[in-house]
Structure formats: structure tokens, C-alpha cells
Amino acid sequence: MNVSIIGTGHVGLPTGACLAERGHHVLCVDSDAAKIRALRAGRVPFYEPGLEEIVRRNARAGRLRFGGSNADAVAFGKVIFICVPTPPRGDGGADLTYIEAVSRDIARALADYRLIVERSTVPVRTGEHVKAVITKYARAGRDFDVASNPEFLREGSAVGDTLNPDRIVLGVETRRAEMILRELYAPFKAPILVTDIKSAELIKHASNSFLALKISYINAIAALCEKAGANVLEVARGMGMDRRIGPHFLNAGIGYGGSCFPKDVAAFEAIARDLGCDFGLLREVQRINQEACDRFVKKVEQELWIVKGKTIAAWGLSFKPDTDDVRESVAVKVVSRLAGLGARVRAYDPRAAGEARRVLGRSVTFCGSALEAARGADCALLLTEWEEFGRLDLRRVRRVMAHPTILDGRNFFDPEKVRELGFTYRSVGRP
Ligand code: UGA
């Protein structure tokens, strides 16, 4: 099938590349000319394991092309995926300016039948608006359908998640749209759930908010564990063995970040408010998330007493491992607050230093390795659980530090082992 993707970011590019990988012919367009140039040269403008390989492979095979206008996308694809950003507005709601602009472009270019699919995370009822905008701006009588097919991929495992999703949700209002999307996804071995458009839109926000809620729940339990002298890892393990709860997303730490959860929880709360429902639970989720970060910064202050003038090593800056994305990264927030308190922060991240430098600027010294960051440090903070930190030679780390203290924001290290090596060690929700 011929498919067009409008927007080649963290959502659009894996979607396009994986549809090509499954045999479809895909055209990706983007308003950012530099991005298109990079993609044409076989370079993915952000770090996502495995993505560059499948982009190159499918481009070579002639199934994946980049460039052109939104009108070209409409001319080429029987299915057109809208994958443009929906950034947060000041009041927490989602800014749908890009969605609206793309819808108008699609309308003007519409000739034969097209299926327009929302793939970006959007508030419930966006599909209605997209349809209304296209109807308004298209020539009278143009034939099209709108559908919602939310993505559930995680950064860092976007390729695997897109090729082998837990489920494929198709929000449709016509049989024709359903049949086209079923055909499109036939080469994917995943359960398909067909719903109306509004339910599909809600599934995405409801899922992300629920996952964020799980994280905040366990972070609240971690705070309790710290007071009571219990171990949050044991508590989470015991909870997770109940199949109704499940073991995933119960890792306590410094809170959730990234371009999705913070924005989506806020947007969902705002959507509920607009619809006349008070979803106070989601405000609590956000409050607990903020508190997880505050508590960690307080721990650093307790450990150092005076932060000003101290040297602090920061291990990890991305919002989670296997990505160079620092949007809403709690690691960056922690570093920025400590730098603001007068600490000399020496930071290292395997991939995200370039992105982090744009946010943190000269307030932080960027180092070439975790060991280098630890040199002369009064304490080291584990902020993102990159696998390579598990291979750190902690004996050498201890020797280069001014004082061997590790504050672990992700419960990454084994407390006994680290203490045996002579470190003062504190983590989250563990004695
Ligand atoms: C999230 C969802 O997991 C995807 O299903 C969804 O498609 C995506 O948002 C999206 O809306 O596009 P992502 O933001 O890539 O994916 O990252 P996650 O793996 O969900 O992690 C989010 C944050 O939660 C990270 O900061 C991570 O460190 C934190 N987290 C996660 C915890 O603190 N504890 C956990 O147990 C799990």
C-alpha cells in the first residue's frame, strides 16, 4: 500500500520505517528541510537503537522515501498519517496548531479518496475537528475518512515496539477505513482492537496517564518505605506478583520525565476539566512526581550539608536510557537545581550530552566518561540507568572521588556491594 507520513519525529519516523519494513511503500515529509536532508543521507537526527539500520535498508530497497510537501504526501498515500507535535500550552492543554495546519493542507490537496489517520497523541474529539476542517477547506464532495491509530511505542525501543506492538488500536467510523487499516496492518502479528474514533483517542491518554499513575504510586510507596525502614523493591516485587497488578512500571526513582508522560497527564487533566469532569487523581500523580524529584535534591543537600562550592558527579542526563532525548528529563532538572545552588556539576551521559548542553549551557562541565565525571567529586548521582554504568569499575571511581558517596536516583546499584567497596550509599525507598 502507498502510505504517507507527515512529520518525521520520534513517532512518524519509526512508524514510516516499520511500515516500509513490512513491505509498504512509504513517503515521509517534514517541514524541517535539515531533517529531510539528513534522512536522505541515511542519518536519523536523533538516537534510537536500530532505527537507522531499518531506515537505510528500506531506503535502499526503494520502499522508503523522504521529502516533498504535504500536498505531495496527499498525492502519494492512500493512507496519510499525521505525526506532527502536539506540544503543551501554558494551561496544560495540548496545542493543536500543527494538526490544524496539516489538516488544511490535506484538504486543499485532496482529489481522490484518502484515509487520514491521527497518530500523534491528541485530545479526545480531535478527530471530529480534523474532519470538520477538511470538510470546510476541501472542494465540495471530496471523499475521505478520518481515523485514529495511536502509537504506543517507547523511545529507546521504538523499532521493536512498532514492529511487535502489544495491540493495534483502530478508531474508525466507516467500514472502508477499517478494512484499509486492517490490510495495512495485516503483516503485523498483533491483536487488533477496533473502536470508534473518540474511544481510540481516549485509550492513548488513558494508558499513558495510568502508567504515570503507577510510577507515582510506587514513588509514594518509596517515600513511605523510607520513613518506615522498608524496602520498596521488595514491596514492588510482592505487588507485581499479583497478575492483576503486574510487575512493570513499578520502579521507584526520581520521577517520570520525557516528552510524553508529563505532557499527557497534564493534557488529560485539562481535557477532563473541559468536559466538566474533575480528574483530581491526575493532579495528585503530578504532585507526587514533582515530590520525587524534590526529595532526591533534598537528599543531596542532607548529604553535603552545604551544596555551594561542592563538586558533584552526575551520571546520566537523558530522561531514560537508550535515548538522547532530554525533554522534561528529571536528571537535567536535578542537575540544573544543584548548579543553581552553587554546585560544580561534572556530568556524563553516553548519548545525551549534546542535547543536554543546549539546556544546561555552561553551568555544567561535560565529561567524556563516568569515571572522569567522578574526579574530585564530593558525591556522585546516578540519574539515568544506562546499562554501561553497571560496568563501572567502582574501585577506581572511589579512588578518584574526593569523598566516596553515591546517591542512586534509580535504585540501580546493589547497596551491599557498593557499601562493601567503602561508599556511603543512599537510594530511593531502600534502607
Ligand atoms: C511512553 C509510553 O511508555 C509509551 O507507551 C507511549 O507510546 C509513549 O510514552 C508516547 O506517548 O509516545 P516513553 O516516554 O518513551 O514512552 O518512555 P517510558 O519508557 O514510558 O518512560 C517514561 C518515564 O518514566 C521515564 O522518565 C522513565 O525513567 C520513567 N519510569 C518508567 C519510571 O520512573 N519508573 C518506571 O517503572 C518506568
What are the tens digits of pLDDT across the range 68-106? 999 999 999 999 999 999 999 988 889 999 999 999 999
Average the pLDDT over 208-229 and give the result. Answer: 98
Give pLDDT tens digits for 244-261: 999 999 999 999 999 999
**Could you give the CA distance from residue 430 to residue 426 in angstroms, rounded to a whole number?**
8
Top mutation candidate among 213, 239, 318, 320 for ligand 1, by most atoms within 8 Å of CB: 320
From atom 8 of ligand 1, which residue's Cα is the shortest distance away? 154
Strand-pairing partners, residue 348, are 315
> How crowded is residue 415: how many other Cβ atoms within 10 Å of its Cβ?
18
From atom 23 of ligand 1, which residue's Cα is the shortest distance away? 256
Top mutation candidate among 15, 120, 155, 293 for ligand 1, by most atoms within 8 Å of CB: 155
Top mutation candidate among 120, 162, 203, 211 for ligand 1, by most atoms within 8 Å of CB: 211
Distance 216 CA to ligand 1 centre (A): 12
Residues with a CB atom less than 6 Å from ligand 1: 121, 151-155, 208, 211, 215, 249-251, 253, 256-258, 260-261, 319-320
User: If you average pLDDT over every residue of the chain, what do you get?
Assistant: 97
| Residue 141 CB burial class (10 angstroms; 0-12, 13-18, ≥19) | exposed
Distance 51 CA to ligand 1 centre (A): 18
From atom 28 of ligand 1, which residue's Cα is the shortest distance away? 320
Distance 375 CA to ligand 1 centre (A): 32
CB burial readout 327-338, b (16+ within 10 A) else e: bbbbbbbbbbbb
Give pLDDT tens digits for 102-159: 999 999 999 999 999 999 999 999 999 999 999 999 999 999 999 999 999 999 999 9
Nearest atom in ligand 1 to the alpha carbon of residue 153 is 7
Nearest atom in ligand 1 to the alpha carbon of residue 250 is 36
Q: Tell me the residue type at 193.
A: L
Distance 154 CA to ligand 1 centre (A): 6
pLDDT of 42 reads 95
From atom 29 of ligand 1, which residue's Cα is the shortest distance away? 256
**Could you give the CA distance from residue 169 to residue 193 in angstroms, rounded to a whole number?**
5
Q: Contact, 236 vs 224, CB < 8 A?
A: no
Residue 67 has pLDDT above 90, yes or no: yes
Enzyme catalytic residues:
260
Distance 169 CA to ligand 1 centre (A): 19
From atom 10 of ligand 1, which residue's Cα is the shortest distance away? 260
Average the pLDDT over 227-252 and give the result. Answer: 98
Distance 261 CA to ligand 1 centre (A): 7
∠ CA(208), CA(87), CA(82), 5° rounding?
80
pLDDT of 352 reads 97
Nearest to 337 by CA among 302, 363, 304, 368: 363
State pTM to two decimals. 0.96
Nearest atom in ligand 1 to the alpha carbon of residue 328 is 26
From atom 2 of ligand 1, which residue's Cα is the shortest distance away? 154
Nearest atom in ligand 1 to the alpha carbon of residue 320 is 28
